[in-house]
Amino acid sequence: MTRRLAVWIAAGCVAAAVVSAASDGAGPTLPTWAEVAPGLTAKMDPGSGNPCQRGDLSCFDIVAAELEQRETALGCGHAALFDDLTLQTNEQLRAAAAGGLFQNARKVAHFDAWFVRLYFQAQDDWRAGRIAKVPDAWQIAYREADMKSVHGIGDVLLGINAYVTRDLVYAVSDGFTDPGFAMDPDYLLVSKIVQRLALAALGDVAARYDKTVLTAKIPVVLGRFGFGDLIANWRAEAWRDGAALRHSPKSRVASLERSIELLAAARAKAIAAATGYVRLREDSAVRDSYCSTHHDTPSKPVDLVPACDFLSSCAPLVVRWTKGEGLRGRAVTGAKAFVVNGCLSCHTYLGDGRRRGKAPDLTAEAKRNRGVGWQIKLLKCPSCVVVGTPMPSLPLTHVRDIAAFLEASHGPK
Instruction: Dump pLDDT digits (tens) for 73-116.
Output: 999 999 999 999 999 999 999 999 988 899 999 999 999 999 99
Tell me: do 312 and 290 sit in the same domain. no
Tell me: do 387 and 256 sit in the same domain. no
* SS3 track for 400-412: HHHHHHHHCCCCC
Q: How many CB atoms lie within 10 A of CB 241?
A: 21
Rounded distance between C-alpha atoms, residue 282 and residue 150, angstroms? 10
Question: Does 35 map to a domain?
Answer: yes
Q: What is the pLDDT of residue 263?
A: 98
- Reference 302, options 97, 56, 145, 58; nearest CA is 97
Q: What are phi and psi of 255, to 5 degrees?
A: -65, -40
Rounded distance between C-alpha atoms, residue 61 and residue 226, angstroms? 29
Is 352 strand, coil or helix? strand
Q: Which amino acid is at 105?
A: A
What's the structural domain count of the chain? 2
Tell me: do 177 and 285 sit in the same domain. yes
Q: Which of 247, 268, 294 is the last residue of a domain?
A: 294
Q: What is the pLDDT of residue 15?
A: 41
Question: Does 309 map to a domain?
Answer: yes
Q: What is the pLDDT of residue 355?
A: 87
Q: What is the pLDDT of residue 28?
A: 58
Each residue's pLDDT, cut to its tens digit, for the chain (413 residues) gives 344 443 433 344 444 434 334 434 444 589 999 999 999 999 999 999 999 999 999 999 999 999 999 999 999 999 999 999 999 999 999 999 988 899 999 999 999 999 999 999 999 999 999 999 999 999 999 999 999 999 999 999 999 999 999 999 999 999 997 777 899 999 999 999 999 999 999 999 999 999 999 999 999 999 999 999 999 999 999 999 999 999 999 999 999 999 999 999 999 999 999 999 998 899 999 999 999 999 999 998 899 999 999 888 899 999 999 999 999 999 999 999 999 988 998 899 999 998 888 889 999 999 999 999 999 999 988 989 888 888 876 657 799 999 999 999 998 87
Question: Does 299 map to a domain?
Answer: no
Q: What is the pLDDT of residue 9?
A: 38
Tell me: do 259 and 368 sit in the same domain. no
Alpha-carbon dihedral angle through residues 39, 45, 47, 52, given to the nearest 10 degrees: 50
Q: How many CB atoms lie within 10 A of CB 28?
A: 5
Tell me: do 379 and 322 sit in the same domain. yes
Alpha-carbon dihedral angle through residues 170, 174, 179, 183, given to the nearest 10 degrees: -50
- Reference 296, options 1, 4, 66; nearest CA is 4
Rounded distance between C-alpha atoms, residue 105 and residue 89, angstroms? 15
Tell me: do 200 and 317 sit in the same domain. no
Q: What is the CA radius of gyration of the chain?
A: 22
Tell me: do 256 and 311 sit in the same domain. no
Tell me: do 310 and 289 sit in the same domain. no
pTM of the model: 0.89
Tell me: do 71 and 170 sit in the same domain. yes
**Is-contact 62 36, C-beta < 8 A?**
yes
Question: Does 348 map to a domain?
Answer: yes
Rounded distance between C-alpha atoms, residue 139 and residue 273, angstroms? 15
**Is-contact 97 59, C-beta < 8 A?**
no
Question: Does 412 map to a domain?
Answer: no
| Each residue's pLDDT tens digit, 348-386 | 999 999 888 888 999 999 999 999 999 999 998 898 988
Longest CA pairwise span in the chain (Å): 71
Find the CATH number of the domain harbouring 353.
1.10.760.10
Tell me: do 370 and 277 sit in the same domain. no
Q: Which of 239, 269, 294 is the last residue of a domain?
A: 294
DSSP per position, 311-324: -TTTHHHHHHHHHH
Tell me: do 250 and 318 sit in the same domain. no
Q: Which domain holds residue 394?
A: 305-407
Tell me: do 62 and 39 sit in the same domain. yes
Q: Which of 241, 266, 294 is the last residue of a domain?
A: 294
List of residues 6+ apart from 149 with CB closer than 8 A: 272, 276, 277
**Is-contact 80 209, C-beta < 8 A?**
yes
Q: What is the pLDDT of residue 393?
A: 63
